[in-house]
Structure 1
Amino acid sequence: MSSTDPRSPRHIVTAIVVAHDGARWLRETLDALLRQTRPVDRVVGADNGSRDGSAALLTEALGPNAVLSLPRSTGFGEAVAEVLDRLEPAGGREWIWLLHDDCAPDARALETLLWAADQDPKAAVLGPKLRDWLDRRLLLEVGVTVDRTGRRDTGLEAREFDQGQYDGIRDVLSVSTAGMLIRRDVWDEVGGLDPFLPIFRDDLDLCWRVRSAGHRVQNVTRAVAWHAEAAHRRRRRITVSGDHPRRLDRRNAMFVVLANLPPRPLLWALLRNIAGSFFRAMLFLVAKQPANAFDEIVALGSILAHPVRMFRARRARARGRKQNHAAIRRLLTPPGAGYRRLADRVQSYLAGSGFVESAGRHHAMAAAEDGEELLTDDAGTMRRVLRNPGVLLFIALLLVTLVAERGLIGGARLGGGALVPVSGGSADLWRLYTEGYHTAGLGGDGWAPPYVAVLASLSTVLFGKTWLAVSVLLLGCVPLAGVSAYAATRSMVPGRWTRVWLASSYALLPVATGVVAAGRLGTAVVFVLLPVYAALATGILTAEPRRARRAAWALGLALAIGTAFAPLVYPLTLLLGALAALAFPRRGVGVSMAVAFGVPVALLLPWLAEVAAEPGRLLLEAGLHQPSLTDSALPAASLLLLSPGGPGMPPLWVTGGLIAACLAALLMRRNRMVIAIGWGVALFGVLVAILVSRTQVTSINGDTEAPAWPGVPLAFAATGMLVVAALTADRVAEFRAAGGLRRVAALLVVLVAFSTPLLAAGMWVTRGVPGPISGETRDVVPALVAARSTGGERTLLLRSDGGGLTFTVLSGRTPMIGEADIPTPAGPRDQVGVAAAGLVSGRGGDDARVLAAHGVRFVVVVRPVSPEVGHALDSQPALVRMSLSRDLGVWRLTQPVAVPPTPEGDPWHARWLWAQAAMVLLVLVLAAPGSRAADREVVPLELPETARELATR
């Protein structure tokens, strides 16, 4: 039914155009208004103290008697109220059409809005579909809603194009005042726009009150208007308030929600806003946006500091609030959408840092260009996620890992090999790291290794579950390393499927399977972080100075974590970093490298100084150092094929395809510099691996000696080889397109290259994890001993390893991760070692007295228990056998045991921990990506096309 139909009520439309320094858009807005197919009945302009000629444009178009001049500080709602106060009400059904100076309606916009009003007599507010002023295909609004924290939600994706996917008349919570058509009687009934909201969220508040009064608010998508959003996008100065625009927007958002909600939801919304504001302020500080953090807190304070104002606002909105809240609640953003929005923001944040891709935005732009239908629902989002090669890679590697580790998952306790059986929770790890004197073992005041703090932090995030943190890092190192390699090579390697090959080959290297089988938690963490090192180092060498400096801080923090788990990482990266700085002498690179390698030193002191004082500790990693985990004579062929030896190694020919692909890259004539650098890193890693594998290393407390494991340097070597092969993939693609023998050669290279990840995955799945790691590790301290131990009593644990007996002193319980890496004072350790050797060799009772003097009450021998050892201990008069079998022997000292007192720790210990925490927080802030002024667009003074010209195409 047309608005001109005689059967419809007579519509009288009063258009009000409010201008404020909007001359660059106003001429087109007025032209669009005056060319409506359904002409307006009255037009009035209000100029709020413009200084750019806006008043003259209004006067020229509307006449001097139709323009009202107001002070510069006048808000939009006040301007509209002033106009209506001076206008006599018109007869019939009067409508007010509100227009911003930067909003140009389509020629049929008013006619369409009035037609929609005739379809539903309860429709009191109608708004057009808003598109972007510059790129007129982009959707801005098809109605707006909020969540209970005031967060505005349009329901649109970033840069979503209008393809008619939202066409129709839709009930919404709110429409913008840019193009809003509202009945005059309803305007008067609810009191119009609130003058307390001079800008931002005034439309939301008005529409909420209209709905509470029992009327409808609708968006009519057949009516179109183009909006520049000049105030929101900071395209002009805002003078209606002394507050910063963002602070004003946040304050108004909270005010509208808290003023309009019924009493019961109000309390929950208030608590959410308080907690959310402090959380967002913290995130702003981390992202180096202190001004935004300040605005967030001040906005919250301005609400809480004026309870009387809030009470008056709620009293004015009390009519119909409870009765119509059920209908309004259905239009609010559901809680689940808030979590999805948070995930999208995290993805956008990471994409802005250049580390991962923002799949949704790329898909939206590509779909609009190709004419593909946009998928804006949850199913469409999930479909796009599952089409991402990085996600598919992670899923595939995760499935391979779950099948291969089937014997480890779901066990009672993970342990074995280099991994101390996992026990305790995050609180136990924090206590171990922060205590000044350690009672574990023979006691000592040495510094706990920093990786304990890293595990404690991760365990805290994972609800205090240390076993879960260890499982994620160790058992999940293969899929984590794959995702890390895929994401980190985004800016280095072209082609997503080439990166998939690189990442899968890296994740399934023999180093990874050996890490899991032997329980090497330290190398597992480094293996995941190594691609991150490469990406951040590339950023330091190639990015603009500000981003390069942030990359330096991030690299320093990542290096500190890796060094805490495996100290060998630091000298390897330091040497490569120094060579890179010399090879690429850019301005500021030296300073950035100094930052990157200075951060680990600052964060890891004084533990790092203890490691440097004993250079052999550089070759150790987190966990136990046992001879059975390394090969004493590792052949050169094994190292050249990237196999570090030990349990869990696949056959050497599995990695043959990778080596062949890397050698084929030497035949390419392009990217010679890159190929040379990659092979240089590879050869450097192999040479260091040879040196490490030939070096005998003593454990921290001197109880075992065995060759070092060359997993870390071989991971460096593999990284260089893979980058070389991936960067020459484009040449292989050219050969494939050329046809003939070149095509055959290209296909052969591809098959050979993909054989490595496929064969490695197949072998791993078929064989499983051979151990010594196990998901059902027994308690180190027998139940018999644990039941009879009293406070402070210790247990001497003897085990056969490499043809001899090694000893460990336990403090009456199963040791926690990290305790084995705390140095024991040399004097007590040597005395107990001599006494233990004396007991096993059958010497007299003096050895038992030495053990008793150090608090040792029980002697435990774990399997295999040799008859000779059992007989020697049985022959000691100071020992009484409690239990003996092939797997376990337990003896108890008969003489009294002296429990040594626990000395006080160094008072400087706690002070340094606080300083260390402050430094970590500082590095996190400096490493975080800064803000991007994405909305601060440059607007041309004159646009080449009008809204009418674009609409008629």
Structure 2
Amino acid sequence: MPARVHAILVVRADGHPAAPFHARRTLAALDRQTRLPDDVTIVLCGDDPRTLEAVGAAAGGDAEPESASAESGATVLRAPAGTSFADAVELATRTVQILPATETSAVASGSADAVAWLGDAASGATAVARTATAEPPVARTGDAVWLLAQDTAPEPAALERLAGALEVAPTAAFAAPKLVRWDDRGELVSLGVTMTRYGRTVGLADGELDQGQHDVVEDVLGSDVRGILVRGDAWRELGGLDRALAGADEGLDLGVRARLAGHRVTFASQALVAVAGDGVAGLPTPVDAVRRRHIAYAARTARLHRRLAYAHPVALPLHWLAILPLALWRTIRRLAAKQPGLVAPEWAAAAVALVRLPAIARSRRRIREIRKVPWSQLAPLRISQLELRERLEEEPDAATTTPARGELRFFTGGGAWLVLGALVVSIAAFPALLAWPVLGGGGLLPLHPVLGQLWADTAYGSRAIGLDTVGPADPFAAIVAAIGSLWPIAPSRALVVLWVLAIPLAALGGWFASTRVSDRPVLRFTGGVVWALAPTFLAALIQGRPSAVLLHLLLPWLFYAGSVAHRAWVPAGAASIVLALCAACAPALAPEFVVIWIGALALDIILRGGRGVGRIVWVMVPAVLFAAPLVWHQLRSGSALGLLADPGVVWSRPQVAADASGRASLAAGLPTGDLAGWATMLPAADLWWVPLLAAPVAVLALIAPLTQRWAAGAVLLVVGALGLVTAFASVGLSVAFTQSQSVPIWPGTGLSLAWLGALGGALVTLDAAIGSGREPGLGHVASPVLARRLGAARAGLALLVMVAIAVLAVPSLTALTRGAALIGLGDASTLPAFVAAEGREDADVGTIVLRPQNEGGVAARVVWGASETLGGQATIVSTRPRATDQDRDLAELTADLVTPAATDVVARLAEDGIGFVLLAPSDPPESDAARTLRLGTATSLDQRDGLVAVGDTAKGSLWRVTGEVAPRPAAPTSATALAGWITAAQLIVLGVAVLLAIPTAASRRAARHTSRVVGPHWQEGR
């Protein structure tokens, strides 16, 4: 048994509100020991008055150097608040004399010789005061050091049993106690620590209930540092704790070094020490996000330091070089595990391990000096990978736990039949699409036939339209490229397939969005039908508006994921991706998305205390990053309103006017002035009833805030109102231009958002206002007969809504058959076949397209490659508020081409990389002015030296430059570098979002314990 025990107690005055109480209990526990420590050294870190008072009372004074009591046997040392446990212990060991087993000496533990002034930077101490009773010379069999912290309260017999364990194990360097919870001694905190072959720390019994099942354990690799009793000679030999471990794995590292020095580590399972987890010694209890990040940083820093300290000299450089790649790999794993908050600590620990070479050298030197046995002696005490997998295997859900959500019932609840029926309707409405290789008409264009160029159009750089336009692509181009990649052999066919599947995909999205509103099959079915047959969606289909079609398909998934984004990272990650896609398809809705996002933040802060703020904030990050290059470019060019322009082809199509009748149509949810196509089938005077078909949805949505689920109903009503306001504003706002016309923003995107809010509100009303005795509703229904009648009433109202919307959709669903649709069989290229063939081989082939205008003048544009493509369109070209230098150059070039007097125009074409001139026909019907201008231009081009006529084509008359054509002007080097950085940043953020959105087994289990339906109790996370 040790002759003397020196207890070192580290008390951190600042940081934890319960520190004074914990310190008092620990000091009181020391006084109640059956075997009292011979010396007690208290290292007081910080200057919190309450903790100073607690320590001063235990020391017999006020914890000041000049006033510590000589009767208490305690030494009080002062140190800065940020002093680590290892530094504090080192400071304390400098003031005590630890004698080996064979040495006899006369020491007065409280003598004046022990009073010293320590002012070195390593310890940070300000003063030392020792106060104890002088003792006569005695013979010692060896001293020991007992390491304690303010939150480690030993049981009365703890020290006696620890000392006994050292006595029966003479080769043990230290004995470790059983650590139990501060407020429940029946739960284990730590009972030994081991590690894997790769240095991962594994607790042998952490968090288990103490039933004595581990009391037979005596020999371990290491332990928690709290409460261990270390032999004095081993303490000096091992050099104490490694200060570079950042507060983690200190006991494990001490055990490893003890084993290498030929000692053992023993356990005194009957010695109990209660720990509270303040973080003074060891890692703190992970009660909040800040502590979890601190734990992750400390644990990873310690693991990397130990890996470098333990590594073979030959492998050391490889381990050091692998730090950053491992940080990247572990970042991916953290994101996949839905732990983005632990990514920053991962990289911080990696940075520290990279630069802290002197600390690694000291640790390696210390091990080299004390090592007496080979590393292979530690192998039996390590944990194998098989044992680790068994230990870390997640517990299944308890049998007594009832999930908060039932089965989805997609197949048994009618969802599968809904999608199948919608597919039949789509084929019946668009039968010709099954044979079309390319879809044309309206705002549709072919896709680039080469996948590489399809994706090249998504990057910052030279645009496919314009004389020499360099700038960011529209985010919508990336969506087009992704769709085209689904059919890599013929990307344009992927758009045809999308049109065929659009209605069933909309029904599927509507059904899933309805699962956030109700768990009733009839209401989910209703939601799918109404969303698939919404007038704004069908109008976009028959008019050929790809961005509007995609927005309508994406919005229900944004609602499905975004409505529960505050709950977990999986829906937050999915919502962030879908929001970026929606903003790319409908920039005009970006302000509304921001308003809804701010409202979600406010609701989470008010109702849930901000527990989901981080996840809600992330939802906006990908959308902001993907739009940032375009936003920056448009703001610099003075075209802020151009950010609201519809992406894709700019084309003028008559739509509702910005007057009272037009806004009345918008209020009824109809984006066109022909009353959803009924005006093409019946006389306008007989169509007064058409807007009333949308009335059932509107009335039910307005009632939603008056039901018991008023919160969900009110939010959805606000969403619908925002969409309606957007539609009203869009018809009066023109920010894009084509040829000589300005084009208003398509109001259908705003109406899609309005339909989402209105449909959701209607379903809330049907779900909540007509309840039964077992379901949410207005009250308890005592009679089963009455309950059945109310259920029949709900089904009847749902049927009324579906029939009304189906009648409203009849003209649109028959438009292609009646020849009233704008879509049709498209061409593989908008340029003549001669140019298209050459453009497939060389994407830098330039063609200037001249189109005489019926009002007079010529519209000109330069097309690069084989064709104008949907992904090659750019709003930075179509929304320029003023002419640029390139616009003026193109205007001068066009004027010279149509004017016979100009002589050097062909040479200028060749210098600019333009090899073809196409004189396209005017829009029918051709006016006399346009015909005259076309014939005059053709005559002028025929007379040009250096131009040879290729011939008349279906696309117009074509000429080719016969001389040497210079390569297309390359984008500046700075633009190329910028494109690389932008692409890298966007791909990183997209990768993070995808990793967060991929569900795991743990996330699925957690989701089962939350309701699928959102509301009415927002504060409960529903």
Which TM class, normalised by the smaller chain length? 0.5 to 0.7
Give 1:24 shift: 3.2
Offset of residue 452 of structure 1? 6.8
Match of 1:621 among 640, 646, 662: 646
* Aligned pairs for 1:87-166 within 5 A: 88=101, 98-105=147-154, 127-128=176-177, 130-133=179-182, 140-141=189-190, 143-144=192-193, 162=209
Between the aligned partners of 1:749 and 1:14, the Cα distance in structure 2 is: 86
Q: What are the residue-to-residue correspondences of 1:338-737 with 2, within 5 Å?
A: 377-378=393-394, 380=396, 418=444, 421=447, 434-435=460-461, 438=463, 440-445=464-469, 447-451=471-475, 510=534, 520-521=546-547, 524=550, 565-570=585-590, 604-607=631-634, 618=644, 620-625=645-650, 659=697, 662-663=700-701, 665=703, 668=706, 679=717, 682=720, 685-686=723-724, 689=727, 700-702=737-739, 709-721=746-758, 724=761, 732=771, 733-735=776-778, 737=780
Q: Which residue of 1 aligns with 2:26?
A: 29
Q: Secondary structure at the match of 1:819?
A: coil
Verify the 8 A CA contact 2:4 2:144 in the aligned structure 1. yes
How far is the alpha carbon of 1:206 from its aligned partner?
0.6
Query: Residues 671 and 426 of structure 1: is their aligned pair in 2 closer, same or farther, counting only changes over 3 Å?
Result: same
CA distance in 1, matches of 2:223, 2:523: 45
Distance verdict in 2 for CA 1:685–1:432, change over 3 Å: closer
Contact 2:708 2:777 in 1 (8 A): no
Please give the per-residue CA displacement for 1:475-506, whole angstroms capped at 9, x wherever unaligned. Answer: 9998998999899x9xxx99999999999899
The Cα of 1:85 is off from its aligned counterpart by 1.5
Instruction: Tell me which residue corresponds to 1:17.
Output: 7
Deviation at 1:568, TM superposition (A): 1.9
Looking at structure 1, the residues matched to 235 and 415 of structure 2 have their Cα atoms a distance apart, in angstroms, of 59
| Alignment-mate amino acid for residue 18 of structure 1 | I
* Change over 3 Å in CA distance of 1:204–1:520 after alignment to 2: farther
User: 1:445 Cα deviation (Å)?
Assistant: 3.1
User: Is the deviation greater in 165-174 or in 391-400?
Assistant: 391-400
Tell me the distance in 2 between the aligned counterparts of 1:645 and 1:382.
56
Mapped to 2, the partners of 1:919 and 1:274 lie a distance apart of 18
The 2-side partners of 1:225 and 1:754 are apart by 65
> Which amino acid counterpart does residue 914 of structure 2 have in structure 1?
G
Q: Which residue, 797, 812, 819 being the options, matches 2:872?
A: 819
Q: Note the C-alpha offset of 1:890.
A: 11
1:896 and 2:945 matched? no
8 Å CA contact retained: 2:913, 2:966: yes
Counterpart amino acid of 1:665? I
| 1:227 aligned partner, one-letter code | V
Q: 2:356 corresponds to which residue?
A: 303
Flag the 1:832–1:122 CA change in 2: closer, same or farther, 3 A: farther
2:402 and 2:741 map into 1 onto residues whose CA distance is 49
CA apart distance, 1:142: 5.2
Tell me how far apart the structure 1 counterparts of residues 194 and 533 of structure 2 sit (CA, whole Å). 50
Separation in 1, partners of 2:409, 2:635: 37
Match of 2:41 in 1: 47
Partners of 1:698 and 1:23 in 2: how far apart? 66
CA distance in 1, matches of 2:971, 2:729: 39
Letter in structure 2 aligned against 1:208: V
Amino acid across the alignment from 2:228:
M
- Decide whether the 8 Å contact of 1:100 with 1:177 is kept in 2: no
The question of 1:738 aligning with 2:781 is answered: yes
Does the CA-based 8 Å contact 1:13-1:40 persist in structure 2?
A: no
Distance change (3 Å), C-alpha of 1:258 and 1:536: same
Structure 1, 625-634 or 606-615: larger mean CA deviation: 625-634
Relative to structure 1, the CA distance from residue 849 to residue 72 in structure 2 (aligned partners, 3 Å threshold; closer, same or farther) is closer
CA distance in 2, matches of 1:214, 1:497: 71
1:315 aligns with 2:368: yes
Deviation string for 1:313-336 (max 9, x for gaps)? 452365545424655764699999
CA 1:210 to 1:457, structure 2 compared with 1: closer, same or farther past 3 Å? farther
One-letter identity of the residue aligned with 2:864:
S
- Of stretches 386-395 and 819-828 in structure 1, the one that deviates more from structure 2 is 386-395
The alpha carbon displacement at 1:712 in A equals 2.0
Give the counterpart of 1:259 among 293, 309, 316: 309
| Residue aligning to 1:936 | none
Q: CA deviation at 1:303?
A: 1.0
How many residues are matched?
A: 783
SS at match of 2:587: coil
Residues 907 and 33 from structure 1, CA distance in 2 versus in 1: closer, same or farther, beyond 3 angstroms? Answer: closer
Equivalent of residue 180 in structure 1, options 219, 224, 228:
228
- Mapped partners of 1:196, 1:527: distance in 2: 55
Alignment-mate amino acid for residue 649 of structure 2: L
Q: CA offset at residue 613 of structure 1?
A: 8.4
The AA in structure 1 aligned to 2:75 is: S
Equivalent residue for 2:257, pick from 185, 189, 209: 209
Give SS of 2:739's match. Answer: coil
Contact 2:186 2:209 in 1 (8 A): yes
Q: Is the 8 A contact 2:919 2:956 kept in 1?
A: yes
Q: Which amino acid aligns with 2:865?
A: G
Matched, 1:85 2:105: no
CA contact (8 A) 1:858 1:893 kept: yes
Once structures 1 and 2 are overlaid, which stretch shifts more, 448-457 or 310-319?
448-457
Offset from partner CA, 1:692-716 (integer Å, 9 cap, x none): 6x78989754399999644421233
Using a 3 Å threshold, how does the CA distance of structure 1 residues 214 and 288 change in structure 2: closer, same or farther? closer
Point out the structure with max Rg over C-alpha. Answer: 2
**Deviation at residue 175 of structure 1 after TM alignment:** 2.0
Name which of structure 1's ranges 737-746 and 110-119 shifts more when overlaid on structure 2.
110-119
Offset at 1:896? 1.6
The correspondence of residues 793-804 of structure 1 with structure 2, limited to 5 A, is 793-795=845-847
* Structure 2 gaps, min length 5: 12-18, 45-51, 62-68, 80-86, 103-138, 286-293, 428-436, 567-574, 607-619, 679-689, 852-858, 879-885, 922-934, 943-947, 991-1022
Q: Is the 8 A contact 2:831 2:955 kept in 1?
A: no
Among residues 50, 69, 88, which one is paired with 1:75 in the alignment?
A: 88
| 2-structure distance, mates of 1:527, 1:203 | 57
Q: Provide the rounded CA distance (Å) in 2 between the counterparts of 1:631 and 1:254.
A: 66
2-side partners of 1:255 and 1:578: how far apart?
43
Residues 787-834 of structure 1, C-alpha deviations (whole Å, 9 max, x = no match): 6456853357999xxxxxx99854234667653125276678889999
**d(CA) in 1 for partners of 2:951 and 2:92?**
96
Answer whether contact 1:258 1:266 (CA < 8 A) is retained.
Answer: yes
Separation (CA, whole Å) in 2 of partners of 1:919 and 1:534: 27
Query: C-alpha offsets along residues 634-670 of structure 1, whole Å, 9 cap, x if unaligned?
Result: 9999977868699xx99999x9899289348358366
> Residues 227-306 of structure 1 correspond to what in structure 2 (within 5 A)?
227-232=275-280, 254-263=304-313, 266-274=316-324, 299-300=352-353, 303-304=356-357
Query: Matches of 1:906 and 1:301 in 2, distance apart?
Result: 37
2:469 counterpart SS class: coil
Query: What SS does the corresponding residue of 2:753 show, helix, strand or coil?
Result: helix
Q: Sequence identity of aligned pairs in percent?
A: 20
Q: Structure 2 CA distance, aligned partners of 1:219 and 1:755?
A: 73
Measured in 2, the distance between the counterparts of 1:25 and 1:164 equals 26
In the alignment, is the contact (CA less than 8 A) between 2:5 and 2:146 conserved in 1? yes
Distance change in 2, residues 1:19/1:792 (3 Å): closer
| Aligned-partner SS, 1:43 | coil
Structure 1 CA distance for aligned equivalents of residues 254 and 538 of structure 2: 63
